[in-house]
Structure 1
Amino acid sequence: MKIILENSYEKLSETLAMIMISEMSKPGRVNVDFTDGVSPVGAYELVAKKVQEDPERYHNVHYYSHGESTYPPKSVAGMLKEQIFDPFMVPQENIHLIDVNDIYKQIHDIEAAGGLDLSVLGLGADAHFCVNFPDSTQFDKLIYKYEPKDYDWYEETRKKYGIDAFSGMVTFGFKMVAKTRRVVMIVNGTNKAQAVKDMLTQPISTHYPATILRCLDNFTLILDADAASLLTEEDIANAKL
């Protein structure tokens, strides 16, 4: 794995945007999986400006989703439409969302299209990635569905967002993320500093789902100063081993 430390959110966003544009500009079909969420918004805005200059230049890019849920305030599909598909002016035929009634179709479609070239992930404050939440994570699966009410974290989240906040969840497992040619995670803010610390220093376990990403040679973690504020030089050095 590779760790990139940036001094500010603005610089972090610029770095991610450059990686995205570089991959999206490659000739031939490019298959990507970009997360929704707060952390990548700055990068997405930069990429949108670039794409809007010449939308047809990026019609070779196909967008896949890595999960679905009713995670508030919107579904994953709704957030992707708002943050990526509309601003990037993505043709409808280039959007490939998970069918919750046939989740394995997404895997088959990606494999038939040549695999994923780039995944952009976020990190949750509980060290989850994609929709792999603590203790509900299944590292050995390409994709899987589960009911959040069966796990300890559900009750706390239900109280925070409302009793109807969650229903069945679908997510790529680690095995699917590992098949991607390039995986990038972006993390910013002091509210994620403990999650970053746990991710890089805790033993690999489903209680801290993102710890498994340390096993990937093709994984790049981009942090701003706030997100990295609890890390020591030893933490960083050991995580890269």
Structure 2
Amino acid sequence: MKIIIEKDFEAMSETTKNILLGHMSQDKRVNLSITAGNTPVGVYKRMVEIVKDSPDYANVHYYNFDEIPVPDQAEGITISDLRKLYFTPANISEENIHPLTVENYAEQDKRLALDGGLDAMMIGLGADGHFCGNMPTTTSFENLTYKVKVTGDEPWFVPGEMIKGMEFVTMGPVSVLKVKHLILIVNGAKKAEMVKTVLQGPVTEEFPASVLQLHPNLTVILDEEAASRLDK
């Protein structure tokens, strides 16, 4: 595990952008899985400036690692957010976007293997210790990509937009540990204790992200506030 501590959100976003662009600049097909949400906003803002309409990154293919469907909406929450934050402003070709959905999730692991596997995945950390859609109450460390029922207790549950009992899909711990380079980004003092728990505590399904300690090529990028509880 490599831990990088930057002064603030802007600095950690710049570092993360540079690491991703390092992967993307290879002279081969590059498969990336990237996260939605607030933490990567600064990363995407920087990447759009470089990637938009550039033929240098036509080799990069994108995969979402979880999806939450919305009733009567063509696409789910994750891919919609990724389009808004990055795909659309960067003018990413539709041919390079490979959505994970509740309809195709059972083929996700096979599809990734046939495509050469994921070169890198950028993920965030939930305040309850979840990563991707792997929640403390539903995760088994033996899961590949799987389907989960929404309980309504999830931190990201949006009343009126989501329905209790609906199903979402996520790449499980086994699938994520197959990624060649895993990049975890976390900012803010509110997650400092959980950062310490999942990075320096025992590996337990009670805090699903603790399993990331087992990844052979894990890079953790934190701002000083998120890193403030770590043992030096």
TM-score, scaled relative to structure 2? 0.91
Counterpart CA distance in 1 for 2:26 and 2:115 is 15
Structure 1 residue 190, shift from structure 2 partner = 1.1
Counterpart CA distance in 2 for 1:156 and 1:220 is 26
* Structure 1: tracts of 5 or more residues without a match: 234-241
Pair 1:180-2:179 in alignment: yes
- Cα offsets for 1:105-137 (capped at 9, x unmatched): 222221111111010011111111111111211
More helix, by proportion: 1
Structure 1 residue 101, shift from structure 2 partner = 1.7
Alpha-carbon distance change, 207 to 168 in structure 1, aligned in 2, over 3 angstroms: same
Match of 1:137 in 2: 139
* Structure 2: tracts of 5 or more residues without a match: 71-75
Match of 1:4 in 2: 4
Match of 2:124 in 1: 122
- Cα offsets for 1:33-91 (capped at 9, x unmatched): 00111111101111110112x522111100011111148xx711111111121122110
Residue 184 of structure 2 aligns to a residue whose secondary structure is: strand
User: Which ranges of 4 or more aligned residues in structure 1 deviate by more than 2 Å?
Assistant: 154-158, 163-167
Match of 1:236 in 2: none
Aligned residues between the structures: 225
Q: Please say if residues 125 and 194 of structure 1, whose CA atoms lie closer than 8 Å, have aligned partners that are also in contact.
A: no
Match of 2:44 in 1: 44
Structure 1 residue 199, shift from structure 2 partner = 0.9
Structure 1 residue 204, shift from structure 2 partner = 1.3
Moved more, 199-208 or 181-190: 199-208
Amino acid at match of 2:158: Y
Q: Please provide the CA RMSD for this pair.
A: 1.8
TM-score, scaled relative to structure 1? 0.88
Counterpart CA distance in 2 for 1:102 and 1:156 is 23
Counterpart CA distance in 1 for 2:172 and 2:153 is 23
Counterpart CA distance in 1 for 2:197 and 2:215 is 17
